[in-house]
Amino acid sequence: MKDIITLGDAMIAFNPSQTGPMKFVNSFSKNIGGAELNVAIGCSRLGLETGWISRLGNDEFGKYIRNFARGEGIDVSEVELVDGHPTSLNFKEIMEDGSVRTFYYRDNSPTLTMKPEDLNEEYFKQSKVLHITGIFPAIDEQNLLITYKAIELAKKYNVKVALDPNIRLKLWSKERACEVLKSFLPDVDILLAGTEEMEIVLGESEPQAIIEACQYYEIDYIILKQGENGAVGFHQGEYVEAPPVKPTKVVDTVGAGDGFDAGFLYSLLNGWNLEKSLNFANMIGSMVVSVKGDNEGLPYLEDVQMSLGEIERIER
C-alpha cells in the first residue's frame, strides 16, 4: 500500500555556480527537479511509502533521474524510459537575495508519450493519497486528460486527492490556469496553495475570502501557504493561523512549497491536528530555503524533530 503517489514530469536542473544574472554564469551543477517528484522525495525522507508515475527520456539524464528516485526509496515501477523524447532540462538563475528565475527546455517532453489509458488502475487502488499539481497539465493538453483520468481513478477507490496549483505562467496563461485548476476543485480533498495562486484561480487574495470561496467546493482541508508570513489552515470549521519559522539563511527558495506539502501530507496521514500539522510543514519549508537546490534541502524526519526540539542532536 502506497501512502502517497504523484503524477508528473521531472527534469535535470542545472544550478548556477554563482549568484547573479545567468548570462554571466560560466558553470552549473547537475541536479534533479520537478515539483511532483520533489514532493515524493520529501514524503519518502519523512518515512512514507511513495510512488511516482511519469515518463523520462531513454537517455543518460533519464536513467540518472530514475535511479536517483529509486535510491530515495520511491517506487518507480510506473516510470518508463522512452525513445525520441529527450529528458527535460531547466537552468536556474539565483540572485544574491535568494530569488530565483527558471528557464525551461521541456519541448517534446517524454510525458507526451503518455495516454490516459496508460494509468495502472491497480496502482491507484493500492494508494491513500494522489498528489497532483498544475504543472503537469500545463505542459500539454494530453496531460490534462491524463490528470482527469488519475482523479477519476482516485475517486473510484476513495483515494484522497491533494492539489498544489503550482502555477507556472511560463507554461500557460492566467486565464487557462484558472479554467483548468477550477475544474479540479470539486474533486480535491486537500488544497495546498499559495494565496497569490488562489487570486488567479478564484479572484480572492485574503485567506478568509479564499476559504469561503473554497467551501463551495466542499474541500476538506484548505491550506494556504504564505511564505515568510507562515500558513493558514481550515478544516471542519476550525481556522488556524500558523506563524512562520525564520530560516537560518535564505539561499534558494525553490522547493520550499514542495517541502511544505510533504510535511503536511505526512502530518495528515499520521492523524495530527491542524495546528501541529501546519507548524511541522512550516518548519520543513524553512529548512528547505537554507539549502541550494530543488530537493537537496528536503529533510529526514529526525532532522525536523531536532529542529523542533523534540529530540536532541548528539554531535560527537
Ranges assigned E (strand) in 145-294: 160-164, 190-194, 221-225, 231-235, 238-242
Please tell me the predicted confidence (pLDDT) of residue 252: 67
Residue ranges in the chain whose pLDDT is less than 50: none
Report d(CA 259, CA 77) in Å as an integer: 23
User: What Å distances lie between residue 166 and 31, 59, 261, 267, 290, CA to CA?
Assistant: 20, 27, 11, 21, 21
The catalytic site residues sit at: 258
Report d(CA 175, CA 8) in Å as an integer: 22
Residue 81 CB neighbours (<10 A): 16
pTM of the model: 0.93
Residue indicated by cell numbers 467551501: 215
Please tell me the predicted confidence (pLDDT) of residue 245: 86
Report d(CA 195, CA 314) in Å as an integer: 39
Domain residue limits, the chain: 2-307
- Does residue 49 contact residue 2 with C-beta atoms inside 8 Å? yes
Please tell me the predicted confidence (pLDDT) of residue 314: 66
Cell digits for 273? 491536528
Please tell me the predicted confidence (pLDDT) of residue 5: 98
CATH 3.30.360.10 corresponds to the domain 2-307? no
Residues present in the chain in total: 316
